[in-house]
A = this chain, B = another copy of it.
Amino acid sequence: MQIISQVFQEISPADFFYRNKEIAGFSNPARAIFSAIRELIENSLDATEPFGILPDIYIRLSSTGETEEEGFYTLRVEDNGSGIPSEYIPLAFCQFLFSSKYKLKQTRGTFGLGGTMTILYGQITTNKPVEVLSSTGDSKIYGYRLMIDIERNQPIILEKKVYENDGQWHGTIVEVNLEGDYSKAKPKVIEYLKQTAIANPYANIMFVDPKGRLYKFERTVSVLPPQPKETLPHPHGVDVETIYRIIRVTKCKTLLDFMQEHFHRVGRQIAKSFLEFAGFPEDTDPKRLKPEEIVKLVQAMKSFNGFLPPDASCLSPLGEEILKAGIMKELEPEFAAVTQRKPSAYSGHPFIVEVGVAYGGKVPVRSDNDITLYRFANKIPLVYDESGDVSWKVIKSIDWRRYNVEPGMPIAIIVHICSTKIPWKTVGKEMIADRPEISREILNGVREVARKLKVYLSRKEKVKREKERLSVFLRYLPKIAEFSAKLAREEKVPDIKNLLRRVRRFGEG
């Protein structure tokens, strides 16, 4: 029996993401506008902060349709970042899987897709090229007009211009045309900008919307947090492929050197005791390891308990002060508490969880009476798909009555996770996967601030009850005193001040 055969086809990475725009956050016109703005801002932040530059980012969205309802826009994003060397500009913007983000380092972007997805989306909806202007601060500014050859995953250079750079300007300007629905996206865009300002208080962010309204988020801190550093892979997170890749490029002649040279926090002593544990002679030539020996090495790396935990100094958390300042500024709560958990790791990737709680003030009450959750990952706010996120799962798992929290109270929980590798569920970076190591840290962090909230709420409740009690005494004691005096036929009503003082003191005891 011969069966009609299937049709096989090879597609380019650009074609894959073109066919599956949804998984990268470009699922409909509203979401596309949001994602485009977000991806370009995150590229700008990644082009400034890690290079020691205080970010100045200017975003302008202008309507280009004949009516605003037509849904065509020009999006322009300018930054004062490191700039992109001329030869890389076409590839960095118009080739999928070409990026500066494939490093073991805490960055906002990780898939290296956002900018290119934005340009692709603009192209397939408006058929217009992207314009890029960039300088690394040398004597030239380069300007390009580019499109993407989607089937071949290649940039098409329509125009290239070179300008003199007198003022030694450095930065990048991107202008893209796209279809979208800003009026629907607006609440999420503004929420995103606001929360970005909370987590990045050292950035100046200006946004001009299609109606010409200016949203200005001014720098409130002029010192950058410690910069994240690139790290070596931790032995616990290594697989066979990683070992092969390192063996291919290593100059080490012995496993003893190999372990120290290529892995995170492995010194001579640890390397020695690990190799003994794994059963490899110290002078084994890594290039001569057999396939099954490599598996054995990897397994030993995973199970050896003597490695130091990943060093979190490569990470750049917000810090309790910035986190609290952000909460106070944005939510103006009656009560707030924050905590930074100790560094932890999952499969060799270090991470730090920071948690805050806010009560009262401008903290909103949700229509479903649940607790309001603000989520951040590597300093970017996540404003979509809350219910699929690990933090939401943790919050829902808690019995809040134990912390004196009643449904409908104005309570917000803020969770920030930073890591060299955030375990994203989607390319659109909206949900963090439920890794047990991470959810445990979130849970402990939330419990910690919830206990502080409980103390505050108990005290508040007590004060309230005490006030009620006192008001009862205040109302009746004088009458009782008067009545008692009359009963006893005494002319002088007893002094109840002393009595009230004692009642009050008793209530405080």
Contacts and interface: CB of A to CB of B under 8 A. Distances in A.
Interface string A451-477: 000000000000000000000000000
A387 interface: yes
Contact of A433 (B2, B27, B295): B27
A257 to B, nearest CB: 23
B125 A239 contact: yes
Given A241-B150, A425-B426, A426-B23, A97 B137 contact: no
A18 to B, nearest CB: 6
Interface in A60-113: 82-85, 88, 91-92, 95, 97-100, 102-103, 111
A124 B168 CA distance: 47
A496 interface: no
Interface in A179-209: none
Contacts of A137: 1-3
A498 interface: no
A247 interface: no
A18 B241 contact: yes
A99 B8 contact: yes
Contacts of A161: none
Contacts of A19: 102
Contacts of A428: 425
A308 interface: no
A210 interface: no
A446 interface: no
Interface stretch (A9-17, A213-221, A316-324, A478-486): A9-17
A68 to B, nearest CB: 16
Contacts of A111: 16, 20
A12 B98 CA distance: 9
A366 interface: no
Interface in A119-143: 123-127, 136-138
Interface string A295-314: 10000000000000000000
Contact of A6 (B84, B424, B426): B84
A85 B170 CA distance: 55
Contacts of A433: 22, 27
A425 B99 contact: no
Interface in A380-399: 385, 387-388, 392-393
Contact of A97 (B10, B125, B245): B10
A257 B168 CA distance: 57
- How many copies of this chain are found per oligomer? 2
A100 B435 contact: no
A204 to B, nearest CB: 18
A333 B374 CA distance: 41
A151 interface: yes
A102 B294 contact: no
Contacts of A424: 20, 22-23
B11 A127 contact: no
A250 interface: no
A435 B30 CA distance: 12
Residue of A51, A102, A127 with most chain B CB atoms under a 10 A cut-off: A127
A267 interface: no
A222 interface: no
A155 interface: no
Given A151-B245, A388-B388, A423-B22, A9 B98 contact: yes
A27 to B, nearest CB: 5
Interface string A147-158: 000110000000
A503 interface: no
Most chain B beta-carbon contacts within 10 A, residue among A15, A84, A241: A241
B102 A3 contact: no
A16 B153 CA distance: 15
Given A8-B91, A13-B16, A387-B393, 4 more contacts: A1-B170, A10-B95, A23-B425, A27-B423
Interface of A: 1-13, 15-16, 18-20, 22-23, 27-28, 51, 53, 82-85, 88, 91-92, 95, 97-100, 102-103, 111, 123-127, 136-138, 150-151, 168, 170, 239-241, 245, 291-292, 294-295, 385, 387-388, 392-393, 423-428, 431, 433, 435
